[in-house]
Structure 1
Amino acid sequence: MGKIKVLTGNYSAAEAAALCHPDLIAAYPITPQSSVVEYLAGLVHDGVIDANLVQVESEHSAMSVVQGAAAGGGRVFTATSAQGLALMYEPYFRMSTLRFPMVMALATREMTSPETVWSGQQDAMSVREAGWIQMFCDSNQEIVDMIIQSYMLAEHPEVLLPVNVCYDGFYSSHLTEGVDLPLQEEVDRFLPPPSFHHAVLDPDHPFALDPLTPGPILMKYRKSHLDAMEKALEVIDEVDKKFGDTFGRYYGGAVSQYRTEDADVVIVTIGGMTGTGMDAVDQAREEGIKAGLLKLRFTRPFPAEKIRDALKDKKAFAVIDRSVSFGWSQGPMHMEVKAALADADSRYCHFSAIGGLGGADISIEMMMETIRNLDAHKNEPGERETQWYMVD
């Protein structure tokens, strides 16, 4: 048992990052992430943590600064949202393809335009092909625990990739919950100091870090990157078990399940909507519908095999996305779950459900409508029309 605190999601991310002894933090505020770096700036100013804080002029600079520090062998941290993530995309892509481990909190937000600062997952989904590990939290406790776990995952010698710890803007970033914050000595025993040496800048041993790379070598880079992503699926499970054995909280690895053992119909959730989904499953059970829930905790690497196992022998499923896949008129995770099932998806009744864009609510009744729809058509295999959670 650590120290119980009542924290917002942003403060949870900041407290957890501080426990991991970052050497350098890049700070640039953007709604709804701002209070993450503001809180950390206060901890540095007050001498609570011994870290270099660089107040940069933009998100592009933020990622460039942490990239340089990581190239020097340091443990680094920053946070962003939406348009800030878009602005840092160039060094963001470079961070992963140079195989520099780091952790960045992403308080997810809808992308402009029409102009909005409200919750959505379009920002995270739009960069899922940039080579980062990407995971989604549904509670402030999970934010704390996954920031800590993610450093161990990122710095694993067979992974060496940066990690986004994503959580819903405003719904998680600004709402408070009780959090069991681990003690510093507990985290120190769990998380060793960084020791990656694959590309550390050293004045005594100069080398060209990122020279113009010919095609054959670039092919090897990309292949090794994808191999590391696949290895990460194993390491995620290993880190989850080690964390659970140490702190008593297990999360199930890349996916987690709720009441799926005997379920006929399953809703698939991402992030903060999961708690509402569990309530909807409980209500459906009271109505006699054998419903269950599958939570996608990691979207990169995509846990295709775990999804296939979880949906095996089920009759119907719907993936509830808080973002859209432009050009497909569906949610992006519905497309990826279908891809994971390949031709087997023709055995199921399934459809995409989209809601919560721009901060709109996803209610229990909306999820109940999805569950009832699945139950009504569970014996009719095939893909049905996308369901939109529209609010009048």
Structure 2
Amino acid sequence: MGINGDEASAYATKQVNPDVVAAYPITPQTIIVERFSEYVADGEVDTEFVAVESEHSALSSCVGAAAAGARAFTATAANGLALMWEITYIAASLRLPIVMAVANRALSGPINIHNDHSDSMGARDSGWIQIYCENSQEVYDASIEAWRIGEHPEVQLPVMVCLDGFTISHTMENVYTLPDEVVKKFVGEREFIIVKGHAGETEFRLNPEVPLSMGPLDLQDYYFEHKLQQVDAMKQALKAIPEVDAEYAKISGRKYGLLDTYMMEDAEVALLGLGSTMGTVRYVVDKLRGEGVKAGLIKMRVFRPFPTDALIKTVGDLPVLGVLDKAASFGAPGGPLYEEVKTVFYDEDEKPLIKDFIYGLGGRDTSPDLIRSMYEDLLKARQEGKVTEQVSFVGVRQ
């Protein structure tokens, strides 16, 4: 069917039929909750639709619903996610597998409604799994997989499905969907952490028949241990994501994994990045290959948990790697993705030269010519055996 990225998110969520959707509109996410509200009004879902006065309340409603055992969904973007900040950490620490669509948009100020990754990158340490989509098809598929990933017995963490604002959220393309009954069977029933209480083993949720406390004061004697449990859950997610993805491939024919590669078998220079720009990079790689340049592409689908081992294996003996950052980390050595990639390879005996390209802030156009200039930079580093400028801001007036 011909739908845009927001509609793909809403349609997949309709098929999952969650118990609660809490919503507050913000561009470019609005279409998601708008379409879903139509499904509710038309009786196509059994969902309790909670219209709230702010994004803080939207996620708070999801926390309450998920704590009571419900499947809960919301969507946001930019400053809406910033307003949720306090609650993102609470949702993750309570181990609540909420699913949230994030239509990536630049954080104000100055106020800007267009795409970059400053919103979700700012939330990278909140404890949420983060999946970044290249197109509307990936949005649809990730919006189904996310429930199984978050609810995996060894994971039990909330999930952000990130789609580039306007570039994906408002752009229509063909999306192959699955029948409702196939999606429902794949998602199944919600799973819970099993805990031991005064009445024996019970599901970790609020239940008046088996009372337990959620979110009490947690001081020096146990706080550290509970944080370590979140660390372990993220490690388990690295195993769960490929498992769920492999199962999904059996019913859809589409498989994504933690990251994806293009023309990497003999590549001498490659770009690594997230989101919709990867389609443009793939186009440029084809052009360069036609000119005899051994260019490649690594698409990071999952940013949290960071797929360290998969990345090391994928890069192999690649001589030069460029990192695409659609967010700036002010005062830091480079962009968020670049810093993590550099950290991964710091202790490796065999590692590529690595350069950071910060691009596209506030929705600045990223043309094939701009991508080509990045590859030319990498080819120069390959020839000289060094990177002269570690971080470049590209496509900007200077």
Would you say same fold, with TM above 0.5?
yes
The aligned counterpart of 1:243 is 248
Q: How many residue pairs end up in the alignment?
A: 387
Of residues 173, 177, 182 in structure 2, which corresponds to 1:177? 173
Structure 1 position 349, deviation (Å): 2.4
State how far apart, in whole Å, the 2-side matches of 1:30 and 1:132 are. 21
Counterpart contact for 2:317–2:350, Cα < 8 Å: no
In structure 1, the residue matched to 2:394 is 389
1:76-225 map, 5 Å: 76-197=72-193, 198-225=203-230
After TM superposition, the score normalised by the length of structure 2 is 0.95
Write the letter of the residue equivalent to 2:362: G
- Of 343, 348, 352, which residue of structure 1 is paired with 2:352? 348
Question: 2:380: which partner in 1?
Answer: 376
Q: CA deviation at 1:247?
A: 1.1
Which residue of structure 1 aligns with residue 199 of structure 2? Answer: none
1:349/1:380 contact within 8 Å kept: no
Indicate if the aligned counterparts of 1:7 and 1:177 stay in contact, CA closer than 8 A: yes
Aligned counterparts of 2:121 and 2:249: Cα–Cα separation in 1 = 28
Once the 2 structures are TM-superposed, how far is the Cα of residue 207 of structure 1 from its aligned partner? Answer: 2.3
Q: Give the ranges of 4+ consecutive aligned residues of structure 1 lying more than 6 Å apart after TM superposition.
A: none
- CA distance in 1 between counterparts of 2:385 and 2:119 reads 33
Distance change >3 Å, CA 184–CA 348, structure 1 → 2 = same
Alignment partner of 1:269 out of 254, 269, 273: 273
Shift in Å at residue 151 of structure 1?
0.3
CA contact (8 A) 1:149 1:240 kept: yes
The one-character-per-residue Cα deviations of 1:85-123 (angstroms, maximum 9, x if unpaired) are 010111111000110001100000001111211111000
Contact 1:109 1:118 (C-alpha < 8 Å) held by counterparts: yes
Deviation at 1:218, TM superposition (A): 1.3
2:262 aligned partner, one-letter code: Y
**Partners of 1:370 and 1:93 in 2: how far apart?**
36
C-alpha contact 2:115 2:361 (8 A) present in aligned 1: yes
Q: Distance in 1 between matches of 2:97 and 2:382?
A: 44
Deviation at residue 387 of structure 1 after TM alignment: 2.2
C-alpha distance in 2 between matches for 1:110 and 1:260:
31
Are positions 1:295 and 2:299 aligned together?
yes
- Shift, 1:311, TM fit: 1.2
SS of the residue corresponding to residue 32 of structure 2 reads: helix
Between the aligned partners of 1:347 and 1:368, the Cα distance in structure 2 is 23
Q: 2:51 aligns with which of 46, 55, 58?
A: 55
8 Å Cα contact 1:9-1:140 kept in structure 2: yes
Which 5+ residue runs of structure 2 have no aligned equivalent?
A: 194-202
On the 8 A contact 1:103/1:150 being kept in 2, the answer is yes
SS at match of 2:176: strand
Task: Specify the SS of the correspondent of 2:327.
Answer: coil
Question: Structure 1 residue 254 and structure 2 residue 258: aligned?
Answer: yes
CA distance in 2, matches of 1:191, 1:310: 30
- Amino acid corresponding to residue 158 of structure 2 in structure 1: P
Partner residue of 1:323?
327
In structure 1, list runs of 5 or more residues that go unmatched.
none
CA root-mean-square deviation: 1.4
Cα deviation for residue 329 of structure 1 reads 5.2
Q: Between 186-195 and 132-141, report the one with greater CA deviation.
A: 186-195
The letter for the 1-side match of 2:102 is L
